[in-house]
Chains A and B, each alone.
Chain A
Amino acid sequence: MNHWPFIIAAYALTGLGTLGVFVWSYLEMRRAEQAVSKLERSR
């Protein structure tokens, strides 16, 4: 049995998952910190 399709699938799914959580966390952090900066500027 050729193992490489299994290896590629495992690495691809891991890559997608880690990229997804990175983008989600980064956007959430940026949005929240921008809202704080906006709030501090409006004081």
Chain B
Amino acid sequence: MHAYANPARFLKIARPLTPICLVVGILLILIGSYAGLALTPPDYLQGDSVRILYIHVPAAWLGMGGWTGIAIASIVQLVWRHPLAGVAARAIAVPGALFTAICLVTGSIWGRPTWGTWWEWDGRMTSMLVLLFLYFGYIGLANASDDRTSVSRATAIFGIVGAVNIPIINRSVVWWNSLHQGPSITLRGSTISSEILWPLAPTVIGFSLFFGGIVLMRMRANLAQAKVEARMRRLAAA
């Protein structure tokens, strides 16, 4: 892990990896979305509204996965003092918040024709909304510090403590009565017909690669800005 602690070594890998993640990611999103909108049949119960699945599920996965990434990076920063952990955690926060918001909005749009309501204060939706507020809090805390190459100890602890919400979101449809359907994709398989399910694979992989590309761009921006600021400070001190 510390082999990539050197920002110069990290940038050598990140520079060619960024366009690969973005181009392959966008292509897979387009392929999966086209298949989901044009090639799959409507669901026997939900009708055409099931097509929102292909963007809603990747958004939910990335909202939760993003916070898991922040929590892991925070542990790595606090325990091993890895110099890139804070940069990574900072870079994940904004796209993580965006995909959490997309998950909430697309879920709400899906809910209106399917359940007859835009919103319900049940376990799944409320815990996802809490995740969005956690992201806002994290972004605010991280931006309170001028140092772009790390986050404060309090911000890192907030990132770790906030991860308590991730298993709550995951299990919410099991623990509480909910309008939201139960877990339909588990390690044991899927209850969704393969005819409807298959475009989800390209959109989940595509959005994940796209998310990775955005995180790499934001990490590169933070590292470059930190370099310029350090140089300015040296010049001012000289």
Asked if B183 is at the interface (CB within 8 A of a chain A CB), the reply is: no
Interface residues on A, range: 20 to 34
Q: Taking CB as reference atom, which chain B residue is nearest A22?
A: B214
- Say yes or no: is B17 at the interface (Cβ < 8 Å to chain A): no
- Which residues from chain A contact B112 at a C-beta distance below 8 Å? 6
A residues near B37, Cβ cutoff 8 Å: 7, 11
Judging by beta carbons under 8 Å apart, are B217 and A39 in contact? Answer: no
| A14:B59 contact, CB within 8 angstroms | yes
- In Å, the complex CA distance between A17 and B29 comes to 14
Q: Is the CB of A9 within 8 A of B224?
A: no
Is there contact, CB below 8 Å, between B109 and A9? Answer: yes
User: Which residues does chain B contribute within 8 Å of A13, judged by CB atoms?
Assistant: 102, 105-106, 109
What class of interface size applies to chain B in its complex with A? 20 to 34
Give Cα distance in the complex from A21 to B56, angstroms.
17
Q: Indicate if the CB atoms of B214 and A10 lie closer than 8 Å.
A: no
* Closest chain B residue, CB of each to CB of A11: B55
Which residue of A is nearest B59, CB measured? A14
9 chain-A/chain-B pairs, Cβ below 8 angstroms: A3-B47, A7-B51, A11-B33, A11-B52, A11-B55, A14-B59, A17-B98, A33-B220, A36-B227
Measuring CB to CB, which residues of chain B are less than 8 angstroms from any residue of chain A? 22, 33, 37, 47-49, 51-52, 55-56, 59, 94-95, 98, 101-102, 105-106, 109-110, 112-113, 210, 214, 217-218, 220-222, 224-225, 227-228, 231
- List the interface of chain A (C-beta within 8 A of B): 1, 3-4, 6-7, 9-11, 13-14, 17-18, 20-22, 25-26, 28-29, 31-33, 35-36, 39
12 additional contacts (CB under 8 A) given A10-B55, A10-B106, A29-B217: A3-B113, A6-B49, A7-B48, A10-B110, A17-B101, A21-B214, A22-B210, A25-B221, A26-B217, A28-B218, A32-B221, A33-B220
